[in-house]
Amino acid sequence: MQHELIDVVFRSQKRRDLLLLLGEEPRTMEEIKTLLDVSPTAILPQIKRLTDSDLVIQKNGSYELTDMGDQVFKRVKSLVNVLILLERDNYWIEHDLSGIPPYLLNKIGDLKDCKLVEPDPSQIFEPSTELLEFFSSSRYLMVFSSFYRPEFLPLYTRLARLESNVTLIFTESVLEKIMQNYEKKIRKFTTLQNTELFVCNDGVKLAELMVSDRGMMVSLFDSNGRFYYDYMSCSEPEAINWAKELFEFYKSTAWQIESEQYIDNFMCTAESETFLESMLLSLH
């Protein structure tokens, strides 16, 4: 029986398309014909096969999934989304996914509509005007970064002053460098009511993540741990929700810089560690 169901679902493109269509909502025969662009003679045998397998039922003039059919639909949809994701671009194959927790890897098909953005090699070290413009009108913004990106600091402050909720997570080394060069800006940022600043340990296997109501971008290291400033971007709700979950995962592992006293403590710790490192080096 198990192998028969596998054949029912995967041996026919028409049956698979029909299953995915009915997973959205019940459909009449006219809707099925129109949306799948098929004739009754072509689709009726496929409906019968799904009905005989207890995956589809006819009710009140429409076809809909049974409870078992709904469970099959959810798993088939997830698999199809992953296949679409992998077929569109090699980015996910060529980059390190170890920074993504398993429960989100299981839903990585939610990113199937993402598009690869590759910077012009001549502008690779210049501010990303595309990202700055894209997120400039966000009602909320969540940022994780393990790279030093000072060009984004004015965006964070401006959005916060416009009463957008802004939450930042930096690795220790990134925050230390920002504090060395833009200490006043960060201190001011933390005093705004609608802002949050977090710091996490170095060594995170995620390069960058930005999420807002407008869309998301995620940038990964390649399989050799290198970073090329390319990223995947999407504005679809599924991708935004996936990215928000990834951000919340990293937020749960970070600690919050809640006041200027926390900043002072962080700076003292960073300076003492730098001093210790220089002492150790001088001994060699």
The predicted-structure confidence for 232-257, as pLDDT tens digits, reads as follows 999 999 999 999 999 999 999 999 98
CA distances from 94 to 7, 72, 231 (A): 32, 30, 13
Over residues 66-77, the mean pLDDT reads 88
Question: What pLDDT shows up at residue 186?
Answer: 86
Q: Return the minimum-mean-pLDDT range out of 7-11, 66-70, 213-217, 278-282.
A: 278-282
Indicate the pairing of strand 195-200 with strand 62-65.
unpaired
Residues 266 and 128 in one domain: yes
* 84 within some domain: no
What is the domain extent for residue 64? 2-78
Residues 58 and 136 in one domain: no
* 159 within some domain: yes
Please say which residue of 18, 53, 78 terminates a domain: 78
Please say which residue of 78, 104, 120 terminates a domain: 78
Residue 229: which pLDDT band, with cuts at 50, 70 and 90? confident
Of 206, 178, 173, 203, the closest CA to residue 190 belongs to 178
Q: Return the minimum-mean-pLDDT range out of 98-112, 204-218, 263-277.
A: 263-277
Over residues 87-92, the mean pLDDT reads 86
Residues 167 and 264 in one domain: yes
**276 pLDDT more than 70:** no
Residues 62 and 177 in one domain: no
Question: What pLDDT shows up at residue 277?
Answer: 44
* 66 within some domain: yes
Residues 167 and 58 in one domain: no
Q: Which residue has the higher pLDDT, 279 or 267?
A: 267
Residues 100 and 184 in one domain: yes
CA distances from 166 to 150, 173, 282 (A): 16, 21, 42
Residue 74, token pair as written in the block: 């959810």
Q: What is the pLDDT of residues 140-182, one digit of tens each?
A: 999 999 989 888 899 999 999 999 999 999 999 999 999 889 8
Residue 204, token pair as written in the block: 């995170």
Residues 228 and 139 in one domain: yes
Question: What pLDDT shows up at residue 281?
Answer: 42
Alpha helices in the chain (DSSP H): 2-10, 13-24, 29-36, 40-52, 67-88, 91-94, 102-105, 129-135, 153-161, 172-191, 237-253, 260-282
* 144 within some domain: yes
Residues 205 and 257 in one domain: yes
Averaged pLDDT of the chain? 86
Residue 124: which pLDDT band, with cuts at 50, 70 and 90? low
CB 110 within 8 A of CB 246: no
Which percentage of the chain shows pLDDT scores above 70?
A: 87
Any residues with CB less than 8 A from the CB of 189 and at least 6 apart, and which? Answer: 156, 157, 160, 166, 168, 195, 197
Question: What pLDDT shows up at residue 260?
Answer: 64
- The rounded distance, in Å, linking the Cα atoms of 10 and 13 is 7
DSSP states of 69-97: HHHHHHHHHHHHHHHHHHHH-SHHHHB--
CA distances from 159 to 104, 124, 140, 192 (A): 28, 25, 8, 11
CB 78 within 8 A of CB 109: yes
Residues 94 and 70 in one domain: no
Angle between helices 40-52 and 29-36 (to 10 degrees): 110
Please say which residue of 78, 109, 128 terminates a domain: 78
Residues 64 and 116 in one domain: no
The CB-based long-range contact list for 148-152 (8 Å cut-off, 24+ gap) reads: 148/174, 148/177, 148/178, 149/208, 150/178, 150/181, 150/182, 151/127
Question: What pLDDT shows up at residue 206?
Answer: 95
* Count of structural domains within the chain: 2
CB 113 within 8 A of CB 84: no
Over residues 61-88, the mean pLDDT reads 88
Residues 176 and 67 in one domain: no
Residues 73 and 109 in one domain: no
CATH number of the structural domain spanning residue 70: 1.10.10.10
